[in-house]
C-alpha cells in the first residue's frame, strides 16, 4: 500500500483531533496489530497512537473537569467538548514545561502514586488563561463556553480552580459510594467545606464534578446525603442541590418510557436494554429512599407513583408470558371423558420462528429483571408466572415425547422441531441444564 501524502496525513490529523475519545481509543486498539505496521496504515497508526497518548495525559492532568466536557443535558453542568481540546492546545502553548512534566509522569504512572502537583498547576494555569481570554486557544474556548451558556466561562473557571480539592476526593469516591462510614462522612464534609470557601458556587460545582466521574451518577445523592446528614425532602427541595434530585426523577420517567415501549420484535438486544432500564429505575428509586427522608410531600408522592408505575409496567409484561408462549407452542383443549379437559400440543403447522423469537425475548427480559423483582414490587407476580410456566412446560414436553414414542399420526420431524422450541423456552425460563435434559430425552425417544 502506497504511503500517504503529507496533505492527506494533515487531513487525517485534523479528523482524529476532532474525534471523541472513545473513537480515538477504539482506533488505537484496532490498529495495534502487526497488519498496520507497514505502508499507509503505519502513518495512520502513528498518528492515532500519538493522539491517544496525548489524550491520556490531558485527561489525567485535567481529570477533575474533563468529564464535564460532554453533550449538553437538561439540568447538568456541561461544557462544549471541543473546548477541552482548545484548552489543552492552549496549555501546550502557554505552559509547555508543565505539559512535558505531566507527560513524563504519565509514562511511568501507576495507580498507587498520588497525582503530581503539576496536574493542579495546569488546572490553575488553565483557569487564569481562560479568565484572561487573551491567548488564541483560550479565547476560542471561552467563546464556545459562553455561547453554550451565559455563565459557562465563569463556571468552568470555578471548576478548574476547584480541581485541587476535587482531585483527591475523586480518588476516594469509589470507597465513599461503596460504604459511607463516619470517617468517610467527615472527609467528604471537609472537602465540601473547602469547596464552598473557595468560590461562591463551590458547593454545587463540587457535587457536579463528582457526579460526572460516576458511572451511575444518581449515586451522588448518597454523597449529598452524607454532607447534609440525610436531609428531609423539604430541606433538600429548597436547597441549591434540588437539581440533582430533579435529574433522578426525570431519568426514572425516561426509563419508564423505555419499559412501556418494549417491543418483542427487538429480540435479545431489546430484552437487555429494557431489563437495564428496569434496573436503572429500580436502583434510582432505592437510592432516593436511602438518601432522603421522605415527609409525605410532593417528592414522596412522585417517588411512590414512579415505584408503582415501575411495578405495574413490569407486571404487565410478565403477565404476557403465558399468551406469548401459547403463540410459540400452541395448544388445544381435548376432552377426556365427561368432565376432564386437558390442554395438549396443537401441531397442525410447523413451529413459527417469529413467535418463538418473541417468546424468548420476553423470557430473556423476565430473567434479566430477576434481581430487582422483590425490591421493585413485582416479585410475587414474577414467581407466580414462572411457576405456572414451569408446570406447563413439563406437561407439554411429556406430551410431545409420548407422541414421538408412539409414532402415531404426527410427523416426527415436526415433533422434534417443537421439542427443540420447547427446549429453548425451558433454557430461557429455567436453565440450560434443564433444556439439555429435554434434548437428550428427545434424541433417545
- What residues make up the domain containing 18? 6-60
Residues in Cβ contact with 425 at an 8 Å cutoff, skipping those fewer than 6 apart: 325, 328, 329, 356, 359, 360, 363, 393
| Cα 259 → chain centroid | 15
**Domain C-terminal end among 284, 303, 318:** 318
Contact 389/346 with Cβ under 8 angstroms? Answer: no
Q: How far apart are CA 429 and CA 325, in angstroms?
A: 11
Q: Is residue 270 part of a domain?
A: yes
331 phi and psi angles, rounded to 5 deg: -125, 165
Is residue 371, in this structure, part of any structural domain at all? yes
Question: Looking at the domain assignment, is residue 45 inside a domain?
Answer: yes
Provide the pLDDT for residue 356. 96
Distance in angstroms (rounded) separating the CA atoms of residues 170 and 68: 14
**Domains of the chain: total:** 3
Q: Residue 5: what pLDDT? A: 72
**Mean pLDDT per segment of 10 residues, for the chain of length 445 residues?**
68 81 85 67 82 92 95 86 95 96 85 86 96 94 91 94 96 91 94 94 95 94 95 94 94 97 95 97 96 93 96 96 95 68 82 96 96 93 95 92 84 92 95 94 88
Does residue 312 lie within any of the structural domains?
A: yes
Judgement on whether residues 313 and 339 belong to the same structural domain of the protein: no
Question: Is 282 in the same domain as 263?
Answer: yes
CA gap 389, 190 in Å, rounded: 55
Q: What is the pLDDT of residue 1?
A: 46
Amino acid at each position: 500500500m502506497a504511503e500517504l501524502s503529507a496533505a492527506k496525513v494533515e487531513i487525517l490529523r485534523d479528523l482524529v483531533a476532532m474525534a471523541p475519545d472513545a473513537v480515538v481509543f477504539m482506533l488505537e486498539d484496532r490498529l495495534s496489530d502487526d497488519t498496520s505496521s507497514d505502508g499507509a496504515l503505519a502513518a495512520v497508526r502513528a498518528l492515532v497512537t500519538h493522539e491517544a497518548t496525548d489524550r491520556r495525559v490531558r485527561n489525567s492532568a485535567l481529570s477533575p473537569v474533563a468529564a464535564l466536557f460532554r453533550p449538553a443535558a437538561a439540568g447538568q453542568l456541561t461544557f462544549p467538548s471541543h473546548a477541552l481540546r482548545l484548552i489543552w492546545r492552549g496549555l501546550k502553548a502557554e505552559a509547555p514545561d508543565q505539559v512535558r512534566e505531566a507527560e513524563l509522569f504519565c509514562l511511568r504512572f501507576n495507580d498507587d502514586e498520588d497525582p503530581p502537583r503539576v496536574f493542579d498547576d495546569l488546572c490553575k494555569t488553565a483557569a487564569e488563561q481562560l479568565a484572561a481570554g487573551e491567548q488564541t486557544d483560550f479565547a476560542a474556548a471561552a467563546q464556545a463556553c459562553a455561547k453554550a451558556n451565559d455563565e459557562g466561562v465563569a463556571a468552568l473557571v470555578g471548576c478548574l480552580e476547584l480541581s485541587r480539592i476535587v482531585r483527591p476526593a475523586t480518588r476516594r469516591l469509589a470507597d465513599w459510594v461503596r460504604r459511607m462510614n463516619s470517617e468517610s462522612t467527615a472527609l467528604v464534609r471537609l472537602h465540601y467545606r473547602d469547596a464552598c470557601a473557595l468560590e461562591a458556587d463551590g458547593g454545587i460545582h463540587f457535587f457536579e464534578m463528582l457526579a460526572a466521574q460516576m458511572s451511575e451518577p444518581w449515586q451522588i445523592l448518597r454523597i449529598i446525603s452524607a454532607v447534609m446528614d440525610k436531609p428531609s425532602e423539604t430541606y433538600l427541595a429548597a436547597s441549591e442541590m434540588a437539581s440533582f434530585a430533579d435529574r433522578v426523577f426525570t431519568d426514572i420517567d425516561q426509563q419508564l418510557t423505555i419499559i412501556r415501549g418494549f417491543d418483542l420484535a427487538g429480540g435479545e438486544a431489546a430484552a437487555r436494554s429494557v431489563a437495564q432500564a428496569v434496573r436503572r429505575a429500580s436502583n434510582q428509586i432505592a437510592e432516593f429512599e436511602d438518601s432522603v427522608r421522605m415527609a409525605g410531600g410532593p417528592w414522596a408522592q412522585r417517588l411512590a407513583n414512579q415505584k408503582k408505575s415501575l411495578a405495574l409496567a413490569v407486571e404487565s409484561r410478565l403477565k404476557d408470558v403465558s399468551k406469548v408462549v401459547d403463540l410459540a407452542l400452541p395448544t388445544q383443549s381435548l376432552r377426556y371423558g365427561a368432565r376432564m379437559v386437558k390442554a395438549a400440543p396443537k401441531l397442525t403447522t410447523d413451529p413459527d420462528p417469529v413467535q418463538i423469537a418473541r417468546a424468548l425475548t420476553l423470557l430473556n427480559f423476565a430473567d434479566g429483571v430477576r434481581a430487582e423483582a422483590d425490591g421493585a414490587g413485582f416479585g410475587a407476580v414474577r414467581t407466580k408466572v414462572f411457576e405456572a410456566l414451569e408446570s406447563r412446560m413439563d406437561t407439554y414436553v411429556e406430551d410431545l415425547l409420548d407422541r414421538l414414542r408412539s409414532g402415531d399420526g404426527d410427523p416426527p420431524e415436526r415433533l422434534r422441531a417443537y421439542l427443540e422450541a420447547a427446549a429453548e423456552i425451558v433454557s430461557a425460563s429455567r436453565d440450560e441444564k434443564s433444556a439439555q435434559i429435554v434434548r437428550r430425552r428427545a434424541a433417545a425417544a
